[in-house]
Amino acid sequence: MGDKKLEMMKENYGSIRIPDTLHATVVKEIERAKAELREEDRKNEKAKLYFFVKRTLMSAATILLMITVMVNSSASLAHAMEKIPVLGAIVRVVTFRQYENSTDYTQAEIAIPKIGTETEENAALEEGTQQINRNVEAYTQELIAMYEAELAENEEAYLDVVLDYTVLNTNERLFSLRFDQLIARASGEQQVKIYHMDQQTGQVVELKDLFVGDADYVTPISEHIKTQMRERMAADEAVVYWVDDEMEEMNFASIREDQTFYINEAGKLMIVFNEYEAAPGYMGIVEFEIPTEIIEGIVREGFVR
Amino acid sequence: MDAKSLQAKVEEQIMESYEKMYRLAFTYVKNEEDALDVVQESVYKAIKNASKIKQEQYIKTWLWRIVINTALDFIRSNRKEVPIEEILTPSYEDEYTDFDTQKLLNILDEKEKAVIVLRFFEDQKLIDIAGILDENVNTIKTILYRSLKKLKIELTEGELVYGR
């Protein structure tokens, strides 16, 4: 060692007095930090799920925004009603294309149906069908674009996109076209989208169009669904809906004004929730039948029984 | 390495070196009470962020780094609240009566101080000091030469790099 000064400094440094409390302070602090970490771990499970759900819900909302638009002024509506006799299903799927693509890792099967009417002279029906066709086109093109973009970005990532359709011809008045969408990456994600058209008026129909005027249908339907959720959860432990959960912001509050719906074979209103919308992902698509007496007096004639 | 075992390794390292952590903290804040606070906060940060360490062998340098940064943050945040007169007449003077090392070190800036302490008092390798201070080895050497010059200490190249 070349320098005495440095040697002395080192010795001096080493003799900085260590307070008696240091050991206890350090041990206590380690315990405090560890306790906090354990608490965070506990919360994490729920929070992770919550953020995933929030993200999924937001993307679902974006898609839904694009879809349904109302047609027709009341003038052309009156005109249409005068002209068309009710003859059962007049709207149907007239053509249908399929987008298909597959690689070692990915697969896409996207059905693109086109609807039309049997009677060609009807202007009002024409307009409604064209509008649904445009919406279907936009929806399916967006799915295809998403698939192709993800494929271009990473061709070795697993991705399945399947879109299938069904015509729900359960009602003389209502023509309903249902899409079941599955997007599977690491885990699958299901969605349902249903387009409706009033075969009498040619009008595209949303949930609110089933009800008279300004009637509040959201509250009675939502409350009834919560009752059903509680009943189903009490009856079966494996069943979980987001109702009465500790994390209040996660709880199902009410249906959207344009909640997905269809009329089942018995003529009852069915409310449909996409994955994560009202229940944890493993519950999948969730449906509730709404007894007609719940909406009696506010539901318009001819849709439900 | 999973989060739990990293946390255990960090805890082990803290228990092994908390006295060294304290001395380093003291060199910066210059009184017992504040040095205890700095160690306490450093321990907390280290345990809470243990899972972020990429490789086990970095735990030690990472711990040094936390202490230095915490001490510097402590000095900076305290300085804001202290009236200017108190800075001109340091109130810490009486804390290190038997001590000229601390006085000597005071002529060095923050980085020079860390380099001298880590290299000569804690026998850390230049490469590790470089890691702790986020500089390359040549910069650390330069700082080392400069600091020794300021302290009026002369060493050979061999002593600088390899110690005794």
Per-residue pLDDT at A263: 93
pTM of the model: 0.46
Per-residue pLDDT at B150: 87
The topology under which CATH files domain A68-205 is Heat Shock Protein 90 (3.30.565)
Per-residue pLDDT at A56: 55
pLDDT digits (tens, 9 = 90+) for A257-278: 999 999 998 899 999 998 878 8
Per-residue pLDDT at B82: 45
Residue B158: how many other CB atoms lie within 10 Å: 10
Q: Quote the longest CA-to-CA distance of chain A.
A: 112
The second-level CATH assignment, the architecture, of A206-305 is: Alpha-Beta Complex (3.90)
Q: Which residues in chain A come in under a pLDDT of 50?
A: 1, 61-88
Residue carrying the six token digits 């101080």: B113
Per-residue pLDDT at A35: 85
Separation in Å, CA of B145 to nearest CA in chain A: 14
pLDDT digits (tens, 9 = 90+) for B69-86: 999 988 888 764 444 444
Q: What are the strands of the beta sheet with A174-184, ordered from one edge?
A: A91-102, A106-117, A159-168, A174-184, A188-198, A204-205
Per DSSP, the three-state class of A291 is coil
Find, in chain B, the residue whose alpha carbon is nearest to that of A39: B48
Residue pair A86/A200 in contact by the 8 Å Cβ criterion:
yes
Interface contacts (A, B; CB < 8 Å): 80
Separation in Å, CA of A24 to nearest CA in chain B: 10
Name the strand (E) or helix (H) holding A167.
Answer: strand A159-168
Query: Would you give per-residue pLDDT tens digits along chain B (164 residues)?
Result: 677 788 889 999 999 999 999 999 999 998 899 999 999 999 999 998 888 887 788 898 899 999 999 999 888 887 644 444 444 444 444 444 444 788 788 888 889 999 999 998 998 888 889 989 988 888 999 999 899 888 887 666 666 666 54
Quick one: tokens of A288? Answer: 């509730």
Q: What angle do CA A115, A120, A124 make, to 5 degrees?
A: 75
Domain residue spans in chain B? 1-97, 100-164
Domain residue spans in chain A? 26-67, 68-205, 206-305
Residue pair B64/B24 in contact by the 8 Å Cβ criterion:
yes
pLDDT digits (tens, 9 = 90+) for A131-150: 999 999 999 999 999 999 98
Quick one: tokens of B16? Answer: 């092994």
Per-residue pLDDT at B93: 45
Q: Is CATH 1.10.1740.10 correct for B1-97?
A: yes
Interface of A with B (CB under 8 A): 1-3, 5-6, 8-10, 12-19, 21-23, 25-26, 29-30, 32-34, 36-37
Per-residue pLDDT at A65: 39
For residue A92, what are the contacts with CB-CB under 8 A and spacing of at least 6? A115, A116, A117, A118, A167, A175
Per-residue pLDDT at A48: 56
Per-residue pLDDT at A170: 62
For domain B100-164, give its CATH number from 1.10.3470.10, 1.10.10.10, 1.10.150.20, 1.10.240.10.
1.10.10.10
Please list every residue in chain A whose beta carbon sits closer than 8 Å to the beta carbon of residue B29.
none
Q: What are the strands of the beta sheet with A269-273, ordered from one edge?
A: A261-263, A269-273, A286-290
Single out the residue of A296, A292, A285 nearest to residue A267, CA to CA: A292
